[in-house]
Structure 1
Amino acid sequence: MKQVFLYLAAWCITLTAHAQDAYKDSIDHFIADYVAKHQVVTGAEKQYFRFFPADEHYRVIARFQKETKSDWFPVPTSNGKPKQYRIYGWLLFTLNGSQQKLAVYQSQFLLQREEYFDYLFLPFKDATNGKESYETGRYLDLKTTDIKNNTVVLDFNKAYNPYCAYVSTGYSCPIPPKENHLKIAINAGEKQFAREH
């Protein structure tokens, strides 16, 4: 009986290790594709991208709550020209042992474009901003179709910098609203670009 238990324990450990390796490989592939297709950082500049190591701890299941009062409101941007967004809903999840809450938004401009009808925008700040990560905050992209049974897989390993992290002019990057300022550190996703702009 003891041998069977040891065999099952070893088998479970092996499966877990394979799953972790597969997850890390998927994030490595995501990052490689992100860097290769980046529209602002090109050529030799790509060497300055930096990312936290893939960590499945930062892939969480969030409970989705639809926002009932979804009025449009101006979100400040890097160039001072606000953009119109509305809160589509709220994502509630546990990370680092504490309850967290983030708003997910719809863009009034993008909603008018057929290819973005299901696009959801998740800008956020956390305790790494201005240190390991870009000072103004980072972004995640979601779709309405990602919401299944009022839950969403939220993977901070896919968090990325706005274009304003690389160039100082030419882009109007939304600044994460106060409701999306997390007090915890999100040690996942894209780090501060390794060259000043």
Structure 2
Amino acid sequence: MKDFFLVCFSIGALLLSVNCGDGKKYHDQAAPKEIPSDRKLASIIEFQNSLNEEFSDPEVSPLPDRYRKDFQGLDFFEPDTLYSVRAKFVRTPDAIPFMMPTNTDRLSEEVVYGVVTFSLNGKEYQLEVYQNEELKSEEGFEDYLFLPFTDETNGELTYEGGRYIDLTIPEEDTLVIDFNKAYNPYCAYNKKYSCPLVPSQNHISTRILAGVKAFK
């Protein structure tokens, strides 16, 4: 997960913090899950372990101390490779940068880098994929793309504001979208963060039973 736009300049998916961690460690890290032999499943478990490690680390965790000290791991849906889909990727080189609203007064300058089309649960969907105008100039993030989405689980099983997926600019005209790697914006855990709002055109009218669940 790319953590960016924090005041302490820890990279995070278009999030803004008003202060940094104090460096204290109040807990033991969540025990990592065993990595299975299946490559797709292994990639999902590695993502989950990495996210849990990040949330356990007081230097980068979005969790307030009162939650982090008892943190035992995020709540994930069971890995399901049916939610890993191959999508057609069409670039939009003539797109004009725009200011994406957030849950605060901050605006995030984005451009629609491309459009992905895929089938899921028997229906075809088309979503916009964004590139941040400031982040693309940072070393290591030149190829980073941002896919925010909402679905029919929001406000029930998952965070009401939707979830994010990190992608990389593909060399060809297809890419894999793994909804098992969908994660919550930091403002789902802590009100001090400013998170981009999911555009209405990126709603998926089905239940995405994959990725991170709502934080309780």
Tell me, yes or no, whether TM beats 0.5: yes
Q: Per the alignment, in what secondary structure is the counterpart of residue 89 of structure 2?
A: strand
Instruction: Note if contact 2:150-2:203 (Cα within 8 Å) is conserved in structure 1.
Output: yes
For structure 1, list consecutive stretches of 5 or more residues without a partner in the other structure: 1-18
The answer to which structure, 1 or 2, has the higher relative contact order (CA under 8 A, 6+ apart) is: 1
Choose the corresponding residue for 1:37, options 51, 54, 74: 54
TM-score, length-normalised on structure 1? 0.82
Deviation at 1:187, TM superposition (A): 0.7
Deviation at 1:68, TM superposition (A): 3.6
The reply to whether residue 164 of structure 1 matches residue 187 of structure 2 is yes
Choose the corresponding residue for 2:195, options 169, 173, 189: 173
User: Identity of paired residues, percent?
Assistant: 41
Task: Name the counterpart of 1:153.
Answer: 176
Deviation at 1:192, TM superposition (A): 0.2
Task: Name the counterpart of 2:167.
Answer: 142
Q: In structure 2, what is the Cα distance between the partners aligned to 1:175 and 1:136?
A: 7
Instruction: Note if contact 1:60-1:155 (Cα within 8 Å) is conserved in structure 2.
Output: yes
Instruction: Note if contact 1:78-1:174 (Cα within 8 Å) is conserved in structure 2.
Output: yes
> Judging changes above 3 Å, is the alpha-carbon distance between structure 1 residues 149 and 128 closer, same or farther for their aligned structure 2 residues?
same
Instruction: Note if contact 1:78-1:173 (Cα within 8 Å) is conserved in structure 2.
Output: yes
Q: In structure 2, what is the Cα distance between the partners aligned to 1:127 and 1:75?
A: 23
Q: Per the alignment, in what secondary structure is the counterpart of residue 24 of structure 1?
A: helix
Runs of 4+ in 1 over 4 A off after TM superposition: 19-22
Q: In structure 1, what is the Cα distance between the partners aligned to 2:140 and 2:43?
A: 25
Q: In structure 2, what is the Cα distance between the partners aligned to 1:148 and 1:46?
A: 39
Task: Name the counterpart of 2:44.
Answer: 27
Choose the corresponding residue for 2:85, options 60, 69, 76: 60
Instruction: Note if contact 1:77-1:175 (Cα within 8 Å) is conserved in structure 2.
Output: yes
Task: Name the counterpart of 2:207.
Answer: 185
Q: Which has the higher helix share?
A: 1
Q: In structure 1, what is the Cα distance between the partners aligned to 2:109 and 2:70?
A: 32
Choose the corresponding residue for 1:114, options 139, 157, 162: 139
Q: Which has the larger radius of gyration?
A: 1
Task: Name the counterpart of 1:124.
Answer: 149
Equivalenced residue count is 173
Q: Per the alignment, in what secondary structure is the counterpart of residue 116 of structure 1?
A: coil
State the AA in 2 paired with 1:78.
N
Residues 43-67 of structure 1, C-alpha deviations (whole Å, 9 max, x = no match) = 4343362111100000000000111
Instruction: Note if contact 1:124-1:176 (Cα within 8 Å) is conserved in structure 2.
Output: yes
